[in-house]
Amino acid sequence: MLRVFALALFVALSGFALAGPETAQEATHRYSMTPVEGGFLRLDTHTGAVSLCTVKEGAAQCRLAADERAALLDEIDRLRKSDSRTVLPSREELSRVWDVMEDFMRRMMRVMREETAR
C-alpha cells in the first residue's frame, strides 16, 4: 500500500514539476492515472503520451509506453514533406477522355435502342 501511495505521490508531483507555466489546477487535470498490475498507466491528456509508472526498490519510475502514435505521427510528417503533388491532366488529355466516353455512350444507347426494338 505504501508503494502505491508513493507512486501516486511521485506521479502527481512530477506532473506539477513538468507543467511549467500551467497552473496547479491545469496540471492536476492534465494526467489521468489507471492502476495496472505492477503500477499505474499515466495518460497525458494534452499530448496523448502514455507512461507506465512502477516502484522499484523504493523509487518510482515512469517510462513512455510503446505505442503506434509516434509511428503514425512520423508517417504523417514524412508524407507532408514528400513532393508528391497531383498533376492535373492537360486539355488535350481531357478531350481524349471525353471522346472515348462519348463513343461509349453512343454505342450503349444504340445497343439499348436495338434491344428495345426487338
Give the model confidence (pLDDT) of 44-58 as tens digits: 888 888 888 888 888
Q: What is the DSSP string of 73-115?
A: HHHHHHHHHS--PPPPPPHHHHHHHHHHHHHHHHHHHHHHHHH
| Residue 14 sits in the same domain as residue 43 | yes
Q: How many domains does the chain have?
A: 2
Q: Which of 28-32, 82-86, 104-108 has the highest mean pLDDT?
A: 104-108
Over residues 21-40, the mean pLDDT reads 77
Element (H, E) at 11: helix 2-19
39 contact partners, CB below 8 Å, separation of at least 6: 7, 52, 53, 54, 55
The grid cell for 3 is: 508503494
| Residue 47 sits in the same domain as residue 91 | no
What was the pLDDT predicted at 98? Answer: 96
Over residues 12-25, the mean pLDDT reads 54
| Residue 62 sits in the same domain as residue 8 | yes
Q: What is the dihedral of CA 57, 60, 62, 63, to 10 degrees?
A: -10
Tell me if 24 is assigned to some domain. Answer: yes
Tell me if 109 is assigned to some domain. Answer: yes
More confident residue, 15 or 34: 34
27 contact partners, CB below 8 Å, separation of at least 6: 15, 16, 18, 19
Tell me if 30 is assigned to some domain. Answer: yes
| Residue 63 sits in the same domain as residue 91 | no
| Residue 6 sits in the same domain as residue 42 | yes
Contact present, 51 and 41 (Cβ < 8 Å): yes
- Overall pTM > 0.75: no
Give percent of the chain with pLDDT exceeding 70. 74
Tell me if 35 is assigned to some domain. Answer: yes
Instruction: Indicate the average pLDDT of the chain.
Output: 79
More confident residue, 28 or 62: 62
What is the extent of the structural domain holding 107?
A: 87-118
| Residue 43 sits in the same domain as residue 91 | no
